[in-house]
Structure 1
Amino acid sequence: MDQLFTPVSQTYRNSSQPDELLKPSIPSKAARETRVEFHGSSPEQALEALRSQPNYDTLLSILKYLQRGLQGKHAFDIRKPTPQSAQIIQVLVIEIVPNYWTVLRDASTGRDRGDVDVLVSCLRSLPGINALLAYLRALLKETKTDPKALGSSHAIFNSSFVLELLSKLLYADNDMRTIWDSIRLLDNSAQLRPMRQEFVSLFTSAKIVSLSAEAEDICSQAGQLKHGVWTSNAKLYIDWLGRNVVDWARSGADEDDLKLCAEITARAGRLGNSENLTSVLFAGLLLRDGNSQIAFTKLLDFSPPLEQRKIVNTVLKLLSDKYLNLKTQDDSSATSDDPVIWAASGALRIVVGNDETRKSSLVSWLTSGSGAGIGESCSIRRAAVAVFADDKEAMAVILEKSLSQFGDQLYMKHSPLLQQDAHTQVLLLSAGYVHRLAPIKLTLLLRSSSYLKAISNRISAPQNRARFLGMVVGEALSGLVHSKETKLDFKMDEMDTDEAEWYKSLIQISDRVGPLDPLRELFTSLKPASKTKPARRSKTSAQQPRKPPNQSEFVIEEIEDDEEGEDPDLVPYAKPDSDAEDSDDDPTLINRNKPKAPVYIRDLLSYFRDMENYDRQKLALTTAPTLVRRKANYGTEVSSHAEELATLLVGLQDKYDLDKFNDLRLQGMVAIVVVQPKKMGQWFAKTFFDGDYSLSQRASVLVTLGLGGREIAGFETSEYVSAAQFASKILPEKVEKHYITPSSSSRLQQSASNLKPLPPNALDNLTQSLSQTFLAPLAAEAADATTGPDALKLSSFTSRLQAQSNTPTRGKNRPRTRAIPNTTASLIASSFFFPLTSRFQAATHSASATARGILFQPYLLTLYLKTLALLLHAAGPSTLALPQMTAEFWDLLLSVRGQCVGDLSVTQAVLFGLVALLDVNETDMRGLCERHGREVVESMEWVNSIFSNTRGGDTGEGGGEENEVKMLAAGVLIRLREAVDKYQALLMGDMIGFT
């Protein structure tokens, strides 16, 4: 009789109903004794039983029957693509998982045990995963039809169940191999080929990550996701994919399987995070035993040539960042017997092997215009050159290409300074190897016209750094070939410096290919330790009841004293304010054991790491700017922990919504840059391009470099400078007034009162101030002029500029750019400016589309250009490297003109860069036109088009961004036209043929 009743409707619970109402109850012991098990022997019977709404015990019996088929105990295998298996998988996914997932999960006793694993094993196949993804896509489509009913929709609950099941299906490091083994059971080769393509497409098409991320977002909004889902994280998914490839290759896979792994690796590298994938393969195969290294080489052999080049470049970057990052370029102790460099060379030798494609890729990396590890230490170049230590022909090719590029005038003019330094090191290293392998080749090379032309072009170059590198190479190579009496000696003071001696010592370095044991040790030490969250103290146990004070025999008696004897300078303490925590109704919630402010850098680091403690986080943020500045000149406490502290500050999150969080975090990073400018300026520049950070975090790095550089140059003064002084260095107020005149004292008090926290748009305010300083004299001149096109063009906004600025007209009374010592200017150029420009050009030429997409994001690109302009202005006209800075910055500004189309903010940043460039070079406009004639003419034409095509209105103050762009364009255009009119003869050669 019961079989005649069929349900006519279904009712789903509201979000307010507890989850227990949907959970099928787990049978008790008495109920299990009378349970009904499935005794069928065919897939049709199993399908019929699943469709008849089985109870929990019957479901387990059916699943175990299907599991026995996976073990070969009967003929039916659910993993094979048959009509019966497709129907059973469909019922399991659509009906069983939504109704039984909760009880199956709760009945499990562990990750690898329990009833839920029986269901997972039945669905761990290509048809099972595809069915889950199809069902998840249908659920997402259903949720989009009625977004207002997310909280009560059954699709939300089912989506969360499917996400949890998917994260369990793809968890182990051998899941891909297991799934492929089930596909390989097919006897029909015609059916195996499309299954193979579908298998590769499933795991390398980002389908799993995209659907999981979308479902996780919807479930999180509805508050129904109780367990973490790792499949929505692209980085974790790529790591899982790499671990599966490693396990597959190490399991003794045959040639066909390695080809499949190579195809998966090549296509997975296009999903993004290719560096993570190569890192997993490097650590899992290359740093293992010999069999794993052979498997790694075969993976490369089966990969396309383009993917092989990408892997070689990624391995070079990986070695430089993780294993050779502790060695600096100017480390005088870097001798030729360095086991870490030898191990890195051994790893590169295994990667390159005997394949000509990978050999040419490594040679190209050493000699190409955008290669050789720009901004990295010399250790990676030593390791790369040592790969060809026994190859005479390859080493000769490296030397000849390096020398030809070294003497190219266009290369000297347009290549970044750090790029030229890297190629010079490659040239000297390869020359030393060639001299040891075939001395006659080096002798003939030094007599060739290419060598003489290269040295002469270098010595006659206008840039000081180019001349320095030319003299270093000339003396070093001549010392190898010629005798002591006839060798080249320029007798310059620059050749007696430590840097020159270090460069010339590179020709004596002779590295070799060594074992990989040092890299394995470093990898073990770099492994992140298992972090366990500190247990939170309960609010009741944190506050221990205070013991009453011991009774004493002594009695403290208060004696009244007359007020006449009191010192009038003594000011009584004010009554303390009531503690806000004392007003809590529950006295057990009051925290009396607050942490004290850290007094050592290591304590500051521990405070920042303790993310679960609000008081420590707040104390660390407020103390960091002062403590870092105070400890700067006392021992090596700051220098030894600077990078670690900077890493914590850059990645710090505002977990507790602290007041002035961004300002305090920024001030802490600025303090690190100011106290360690040579080291941390380069570190922050590298972090901006290579770090895995968000746009806001990268923007904070740029602001740190800009403000830090200006403070080093003396243009800015932080409010934490005076607070960072030790009390022993400050005179008491009564004594200080006898040594400081009233006028100076008032000035000090006034300057201290003017110190304010940095606003979020600190760089924008500095940009606007410098722009007004540049434009105000031009506007005053235009207002005084009665005729001429410039007066007509500028008449619409000269009055507003004069109202905004009281700067006098151009001439002798105009305040000049502040001249600073060459040491400070050189520091800003070498540690701040050149690392930013050089790495930008290297990133634009890299194969990573993600890096280029981040750099050309309008807001970040605008902030980047403004930072470079402010650093150039901070360096000032007395910088010895000003010609090289001007050349690199001008090339960079002209290269990003395409990003200005349709974006006024980027256009304004480019124009401000030209403003800073012309302002710093104001005293040498003749030299600017002589060295950069084509750039002057090209910039004038582009700025003229910007001025003509930008709509600017006479709307008074705050006329909008278009008015600011038009004003900047007019100022730059006037200055460039003045230079063109004055130095037409110098520019005539560059203007011929210009369109």
Structure 2
Amino acid sequence: MEKDITELKNCPSIERVHEILVANVETPSFPYITALLEFTIPQLFDSIRDSKILIQTFQTLIGLGNLLNRISTRQEQSELYISILERVFDEGLALNLVKGNPSPVEIREINKLVFKGKALAVVNEATTLSSVEITSECFKSTGGYVEYLSNSLLKLYSSNTRSDIIEEFLHSTLKFGDASVIKFYEIFFRESSWDYFVQSFQSMKKFQKKGYLKSLFNNYIVRIAPNSNLNALFNLLSFTSDVFDEMVIESIIQTANKSLTQVVAMILTKSDDYDFLVNKLITKWSNSTVIKNEPISIQESRTFMIMQLISRRKGSALTKDLLTNKQFLNAINNRLSSFSNNIKALGVVLVDYVCELNGEKKIFSLAPEVDTYSSLMVPNVDITELPAHDCWEALKLKETTSPIKIESKQDVSQDLDDDDDDDSLPPQTDVADPIYVKQLIEYFSVDTSNQNAYEMRRKALLKGPTLLHQKYRYGTEVHFYSEELLALLIGLDNHFDDKDFNELKLNNMVAVIVTNPSITTFMFNLLLTGDYSLQQRVLILSATLMAARQLRGFSPTNFPSQTLPEPLHRKYLELEGGSKYIDFIENEVQKELLADASAEAQDQLLGSGKVVRVSSRLKRPAKSTETPTAGFYTIIGKLFYFPLLNVWYEAGTIDIGHYSPVYIGHYIKTLALLIHCAYPSSIQLNDMVKEFLILSCNILRKISLEATPVVESIVTGVLIVCEVSNPEFLVTNHNDEIVFIQNWLSVSWELLVDDKLKSVAAGLLLRLQKLESSLERTIMDQSNSIIT
């Protein structure tokens, strides 16, 4: 080998290099690898880059380690070495590294370099410093790297590699974070590979099983359960039944996913701790602190879990004894004593369900607001033992496709003065107006190659809202086609580049919701599970808010852009999509809420006793409203606010990359403005306020001040809360949240860089200081009453 190393340093021919590579591929030494990296590769890269023998040489522990070290230390040549590394990381790397019965020390080194991610870290650092372009999918993202590692593990399993080696690599692969771990389960949760994971899972220690169980259920099964055969999932996952404990079940409840809860309840029927776990759940469900402070969406999820579990013990001593169980009765009493209708409703629903399971007459009659939670009484999914192959086939049959992600076509450079006469459009033809909702759907879904496609779609966009408002009062046509129509509208693209497309599309979506408010549950499920662009998601939020305001009776207001010439107004709408509608409403609300604070500040500056002439144009305009839709006071929370709030808890997190703050800001803004239009008639207003304050505090604990859209939305929302809530109610029931927000604002105000945000935040601080004074007066009054 010494002779070969010397030759490599002295510019050998291509043929001789190949001979040397072949001779040393099985047992490369450190000096030999160094010679290749220092001389051969830089000198002959173009000639040997595709040499399989060269790649195999670096698919050894010593070869890979030195290659990564060279990338880290030779920044000027990193592009060259990364090109080799990308070829080294092929499907055979893991097998080549572990062949020959490696020692424990070698296994730990392989694990560190490959499965713990050192290779990815080295490449990320090098590409950041040198702007090297990466071509291999495995190095482009953490998800791609985890996908590569998962496929490598499959190779190791199928080649009968020692189980201790695989399990060490498996543990490292599953530590890349929740989002990336989904890639692992997408590869392993298949008929051909699932047994490999089960085999490794069953050999793990108990604490490891619990961690991986949470990861599996809360990150992957939660995504597929709503569209899957639950009995098939039960059969494939029942091997985990002995791992579930109180903490694991709590993590399932936090997802607020009903399909996942049903699967877990089915699996727990095989657990020896079934009754113990049910009693633990009821204990927490009855806790007065939990009742007061836990988000209502999570309380609903916990109630649903209890109902699912006790329904599978129908006729047992556990279920029969509940109605005489002191702890359960105390829980019902605590809930019925609450000021929250939602909390009361959950107690009523559960106790009536227990009565039903025991064959007894229900204690309560469901009021309309309680009926919100009657949907928790779902029939049990039958448990049937199935062979594994039948389970996988059943899952295939239940698979559904997600809505197609359609990016909007927008060309900001188009002329503004040619939108009335566009010669590129097809000639107009005589297309009849749609007269049925089914016909409206046909017009929207027409093949764009159809010669009448433009006129048909244009007619549908223009006539759709009127048709829906005419139809919904008679028959069930609107209700029957609402889901199909709404899904079609959300995914509709601007194929013909209409300037007013987004405005007309939004009007149609609003009309669908107004004429069938119960469609919101379906729409928010699309928002949660659909693969939509940011613009499409914002459009859903805009349609939700505008529909709620229309049902509330708020009259439409002219938007600022409507004072512009028509071509500029259309361009404004085209560029902004649906976001400007929410932004405009938010701005109007901010002006309204800050007007009093501004007037008070002016009075303090001018001093008391001075007469100030105020122009009538500067006075706050009266709010333009009509009579709310019948029953609006019940549906604003039941169909709009709480289902939209549930999206947050079911999603667990909102991450769409760089634009996450924009989307989260619009989401919170929509919740806040729903509270604004719910005032004063909603019977669930206090619950809505409570949930908004809890959510706001949770978000403020995590975000940075750079997320301006999120901060502004929360500040505006808390302003609305202060406006619509009784001060005494706020300081008595939500003092912890109010104090936290006030302290956060006090510390952060100087660091805010946006002038508008600082102004709104200052207005909120003033309101919160008033609340603080109100609290002090309340305490003083109570103290005086005690003394006297």
Aligned equivalent of 2:723? 919
Aligned equivalent of 1:364? 247
CA distance, structure 2, for counterparts of residue 622 and residue 166 of structure 1: 54
Q: CA separation of 1:578/1:862 partners in 2, compared to 1, >3 Å: closer, same or farther?
A: closer
Q: 1:120 aligns with which of 55, 58, 64?
A: 55
Contact 1:819 1:877 in 2 (8 A): no
Which stretch of structure 1 is more off in the superposition, 409-418 or 656-665?
656-665
Aligned equivalent of 2:413? none
CA distance, structure 1, for counterparts of residue 697 and residue 660 of structure 2: 17
What is the Cα deviation at residue 515 of structure 1? Answer: 4.0
Q: CA separation of 1:755/1:275 partners in 2, compared to 1, >3 Å: closer, same or farther?
A: closer
Aligned equivalent of 1:807? 620
Aligned equivalent of 2:281? 402
1:170-569 matches, within 5 Å, as 170-172=89-91, 174-181=92-99, 184=100, 192-212=103-123, 230-267=138-175, 269-270=176-177, 273-283=180-190, 287-288=191-192, 293=195, 295-299=197-201, 301-302=203-204, 305=207, 308-325=210-227, 340-350=229-239, 352=240, 354=242, 358-360=243-245, 363-366=246-249, 368=250, 371-372=252-253, 374-376=255-257, 378-391=258-271, 393-436=272-315, 439-481=316-358, 484=360, 487-493=361-367, 500=374, 503-504=376-377, 506=379, 511-512=383-384, 514-516=386-388, 517-523=390-396
What is the Cα deviation at residue 876 of structure 1? Answer: 2.8
CA distance, structure 1, for counterparts of residue 488 and residue 12 of structure 2: 58
1:53 aligns with 2:11: yes
Letter in 1 for 2:714: V
Q: CA separation of 1:239/1:830 partners in 2, compared to 1, >3 Å: closer, same or farther?
A: farther
- SS at structure 1 position matched to 2:149: helix
CA distance, structure 1, for counterparts of residue 600 and residue 581 of structure 2: 30
Residues 236-277 of structure 1: CA deviation (Å, up to 9, x unaligned): 22112112212322333333233333333334x348512222
Aligned equivalent of 2:714? 910
What is the Cα deviation at residue 883 of structure 1? Answer: 2.1
What is the Cα deviation at residue 432 of structure 1? Answer: 2.5
1:66 aligns with 2:1: no
Contact 2:509 2:543 in 1 (8 A): yes
Residues 759-779 of structure 1: CA deviation (Å, up to 9, x unaligned): 554433322211221232454
- SS at structure 2 position matched to 1:435: coil
CA distance, structure 2, for counterparts of residue 180 and residue 263 of structure 1: 17
Contact 1:663 1:757 in 2 (8 A): yes
Contact 2:71 2:81 in 1 (8 A): yes
Q: CA separation of 1:208/1:624 partners in 2, compared to 1, >3 Å: closer, same or farther?
A: farther
1:34-183 matches, within 5 Å, as 43-56=1-14, 58=15, 62-63=17-18, 66-67=21-22, 76-78=24-26, 80-88=28-36, 90-97=38-45, 99-100=46-47, 116-138=51-73, 141-142=75-76, 159=79, 162-172=81-91, 174-181=92-99
1:753-768 matches, within 5 Å, as 757=573, 759=576, 761-768=580-587
1:935 aligns with 2:734: yes
1:661-676 matches, within 5 Å, as none
CA distance, structure 2, for counterparts of residue 372 and residue 854 of structure 1: 27
CA distance, structure 2, for counterparts of residue 622 and residue 989 of structure 1: 69
Q: CA separation of 1:929/1:577 partners in 2, compared to 1, >3 Å: closer, same or farther?
A: closer
Q: CA separation of 1:663/1:778 partners in 2, compared to 1, >3 Å: closer, same or farther?
A: same
Residues 430-461 of structure 1: CA deviation (Å, up to 9, x unaligned): 2222334xx23333332121121122222232
Contact 1:706 1:763 in 2 (8 A): yes
CA distance, structure 1, for counterparts of residue 614 and residue 304 of structure 2: 50
Aligned residues: 742
- SS at structure 2 position matched to 1:807: coil
CA distance, structure 2, for counterparts of residue 867 and residue 669 of structure 1: 16
Letter in 2 for 1:364: M
CA distance, structure 2, for counterparts of residue 526 and residue 982 of structure 1: 58
Contact 1:933 1:987 in 2 (8 A): no
What is the Cα deviation at residue 933 of structure 1? Answer: 0.3
CA distance, structure 2, for counterparts of residue 660 and residue 228 of structure 1: 42
Contact 1:89 1:123 in 2 (8 A): no
CA distance, structure 2, for counterparts of residue 280 and residue 175 of structure 1: 18
Q: CA separation of 1:402/1:65 partners in 2, compared to 1, >3 Å: closer, same or farther?
A: same
- SS at structure 2 position matched to 1:302: coil
Contact 1:855 1:861 in 2 (8 A): no
Contact 2:214 2:248 in 1 (8 A): no
CA distance, structure 2, for counterparts of residue 163 and residue 627 of structure 1: 58
Residues 903-946 of structure 1: CA deviation (Å, up to 9, x unaligned): 6766544332222113333xxx2xx6357605248626864895
Greater helix share, structure number: 2
What is the Cα deviation at residue 213 of structure 1? Answer: 5.2
Q: CA separation of 1:874/1:81 partners in 2, compared to 1, >3 Å: closer, same or farther?
A: farther
Letter in 2 for 1:968: L
Q: CA separation of 1:475/1:236 partners in 2, compared to 1, >3 Å: closer, same or farther?
A: same
Contact 1:873 1:916 in 2 (8 A): yes
CA distance, structure 1, for counterparts of residue 518 and residue 180 of structure 2: 31
1:964 aligns with 2:768: no
CA distance, structure 2, for counterparts of residue 693 and residue 252 of structure 1: 42
- SS at structure 1 position matched to 2:223: helix
Q: CA separation of 1:961/1:120 partners in 2, compared to 1, >3 Å: closer, same or farther?
A: same
What is the Cα deviation at residue 869 of structure 1? Answer: 1.0
TM-score by length of 2: 0.76
CA distance, structure 2, for counterparts of residue 948 and residue 47 of structure 1: 65
Letter in 2 for 1:180: V
Contact 2:446 2:456 in 1 (8 A): no
1:5-24 matches, within 5 Å, as none
Contact 1:706 1:867 in 2 (8 A): yes
CA distance, structure 2, for counterparts of residue 125 and residue 794 of structure 1: 83
Larger Rg: 1
TM-score by length of 1: 0.62
**What are the ranges of 5 or more consecutive residues in structure 1 without an aligned counterpart?**
1-42, 70-75, 106-115, 143-154, 187-191, 327-339, 532-574, 582-590, 721-749, 785-790, 809-813, 991-995
Which stretch of structure 1 is more off in the superposition, 411-420 or 901-910?
901-910
Q: CA separation of 1:185/1:466 partners in 2, compared to 1, >3 Å: closer, same or farther?
A: closer
Residues 844-894 of structure 1: CA deviation (Å, up to 9, x unaligned): xx6xxx869979976555444323211211233211221211211122334
Instruction: Give the superposed CA RMSD.
Output: 5.4
What is the Cα deviation at residue 381 of structure 1? Answer: 1.7
Contact 1:383 1:511 in 2 (8 A): no
Q: CA separation of 1:194/1:497 partners in 2, compared to 1, >3 Å: closer, same or farther?
A: closer
Residues 930-985 of structure 1: CA deviation (Å, up to 9, x unaligned): 576052486268648957995799xxxx9754333223322454466468647965
Residues 63-118 of structure 1: CA deviation (Å, up to 9, x unaligned): 36634x5xxxxxx4445544334434554433332x325xx65xxxxxxxxxx434
Contact 2:210 2:244 in 1 (8 A): no
Aligned-pair identity in percent equals 17
